[in-house]
Chain A
Amino acid sequence: MAVITPQRRIGWLSANFVVIALALIPVLWLVSLSLKTPTAILDPSFIPSQWTWGNYSGILTSSQFLRPLLNSIGIGLISTIIAVGLASMAAYAIARLQFPGKGVLIGMALLIAMFPLIALVTPLFTIERALGLFNTWPGLIIPYIAFGLPLGIYILSAFFREIPWELEKAAKVDGATPFQAFIRVIAPLAAPGMVTTAILVFLACWNDFILAISFTSTIASRTAPAAMEYFSGGSVFTVPTGPISAAAVVITIPIIIFVLFFQRRIVAGLTSGAVKG
């Protein structure tokens, strides 16, 4: 390691500052927009000249936003739980077992992850219409799980591979069934991986726009990002910039909380001490 000279320190600080500023300015701008009155929306100043909570109170009292927000939370959580559950079992099998077609299975999973989503919208739309899933929660949950699984399997199989196999053997000798060994020993140790996967899958569901706008038609199943598309302004000719910004800020907050809350667990190396350290 080179000695950290004051010049180096300043160099790093300014580089960090640039990166953070680039990431934060659009967000702060969004916050600024959401706090401006409709008439001041074109005001170029960064700090609103007139502050208003009107945009927030507007969207948070409108069922046009509240119901989709509920849909987003519900669909996102259900998809995440099922996807992580299935992915952890599949990843465990991939990491631990030798079976014919294992390579093909991994390849298929990767293929699904690579497939451009937009190309699937039309066929899926037809299928969902035929099956009566259009404009329902399962109509979004099922594709979300399908697209969340490859990612989950990838991350989790890496985590499972890291867990010493002897721990599982020890659990078996201690009298655990394979399922008990998985639930009591392997899964707790893979928890950081599961949380990481859960966050990523949840983010993907939460942020999805293409499927949400395509497979829904009413607020019964429309998610928040799609619902913002249907916001209306004061007149036909007004763009509802304020409410959209406010809604964007509102749907960003849960993600920030989510990540801040689990950050520690993602980083924590839970497996330390399992084998000779």
Chain B
Amino acid sequence: MAEIVLEHITKRFPDGSLAVNDFNLDIRDGEFVILVGPSGCGKSTTLNMIAGLEDITSGELLIAGQVVNSKSPKDRDIAMVFQSYALYPHMTVRDNMGFALKLAKTPKDVINQKVEEAARILDLTQYLDRKPANLSGGQRQRVAMGRAIVRDPAAFLMDEPLSNLDAKLRVQTRTEISRLQRRLGTTTVYVTHDQVEALTLGDRVVVMRSGLLQQVGSPKQLYDTPENLFVAGFIGSPAMNFLSGTIEDNKLRTSLGDFPLTDQLRRELSAANVERQVIVGVRPENFEDAALVGTDNRPHGITFKANIDVLESIGSDVFVYFTLGRDSGVNSAELEELAEDAGRGATGGGGDTIVARLDAATRIREGSEADLWVDGRALHVFDPASGRNLSLGNAEERAATSTAPATPAAPAPEEVAPEEAAPDTSTRTDNIT
């Protein structure tokens, strides 16, 4: 058990490219921290630096209060789960799990006892004498986990451990990992490019982009109060919709309609000295079928007409897709990067289409014109130049506190994730093969 502190960590590769730039993070003992970002954002490099598999160009890395920059991986007391699992193919499951203990010259009976206990936790007892080649993907993944937990290390590092599993197994294993981490209480740093995984697993989530830390916070904080355009667009599925907007006559004018400026936004705009052009972000769930909005809510938003191109019903919700005729698309490097990461950079689709999540009771039909309501309180307004979220207020201050190493995300009451009320860990489901 240990806390991990990254102070001004920078990684520059020999070819001069900057992979991680001045990264600061304070991971508390027992915390489950997720590093998330699109590919090439430096999250895996950061993890490898914590593991000692990559040199740190500058900055200090502390594990349990000790500077470990120059220590080799074996002296850092950390265990890692790799994306490919990296099981030793010439060893049995038992030898794979006991390898670290064997290297540490642990007595044989102790190794056996620990391996068998880990195997029991992970349901691997009957596979102990098999070779990795004779295991299924899910079993291999659990062996990789087992190899980490038998050592009882100061911290677990996990590099996209679920990305090689199929969708169903991934969800199951995700829950297993969450449960296991709570049960063991070991500090865990987990890297993923999947924001759903990040939001469901982490105590705190760190969003990275191009080697720079974008925002640190609880899943709810990231979702509700994204500090910039990138975080807003990255977190959430379906992603936040972005529209161009202008500030005119004390109003926020968008292709959806005009919104009155809140006092706070007005203050921010004058303080930040922003041009009249802004980018407006609306999450899909902040739309509603106008017919279903209660009279007490109606005044908080505006109603507009839209031609519904596509309607997808998933039972619990209805997703509708529509475009706004006028020039509503926005251009931003950050959004383009997100689009590219999502695989629609080349096709150019998705940019101008707006997604709305409506109540399942809606009677809107595909291809017809519908009255939609959008909640004016939930708008995010971004500065197109810096990408900063202007609707948050005190953005600088917030940015300063969330990245400063000394004050890791002040424990606000809403930070306690719902899973914290942990389900009984002793009754685990046994069907994750």
Contacts and interface: CB of A to CB of B under 8 A. Distances in A.
Interface string B47-60: 01001110000000
Interface in A162-215: 164, 166-167, 169-177, 180, 184-185, 188-189
A270 B89 contact: yes
A274 interface: yes
Interface in B126-169: 131-135, 137, 140, 147, 151, 157, 164
A238 interface: no
Interface residues of B, number: 35
B308 to A, nearest CB: 42
A272 B48 CA distance: 25
B80 to A, nearest CB: 4
Contact of B84 (A98, A166, A172): A166
Interface stretch (B31-39, B99-107, B176-184, B366-374): B99-107
Contacts of B282: none
A273 B133 CA distance: 4
A176 B137 CA distance: 26
A173 B79 contact: yes
B84 to A, nearest CB: 4
Interface in B52-96: 52-53, 72-74, 78-80, 82-90
Interface residues of A, number: 26
A218 interface: no
A173 B90 CA distance: 18
Given A164-B86, A169-B53, A172-B53, A276 B99 contact: no
A273 B132 contact: yes
Contacts of A188: 90
Given A175-B103, A189-B90, A275-B85, 9 more contacts: A174-B79, A174-B151, A175-B104, A177-B72, A184-B99, A273-B87, A274-B132, A276-B84, A277-B133
Contacts of B52: 172-173
Contact of A174 (B48, B53, B103): B103
Q: Which of B104, B133, B164 has the most CB of A within 10 A?
A: B133
Given A173-B79, A174-B147, A276-B140, A167 B164 contact: no
A173 to B, nearest CB: 4
A226 to B, nearest CB: 40
Contact of B82 (A166, A177, A180): A166
17 contacts: A167-B86, A169-B48, A170-B86, A171-B99, A173-B53, A173-B73, A173-B74, A173-B80, A174-B99, A174-B103, A272-B133, A273-B132, A274-B84, A274-B86, A275-B84, A276-B137, A276-B164
A271 interface: yes
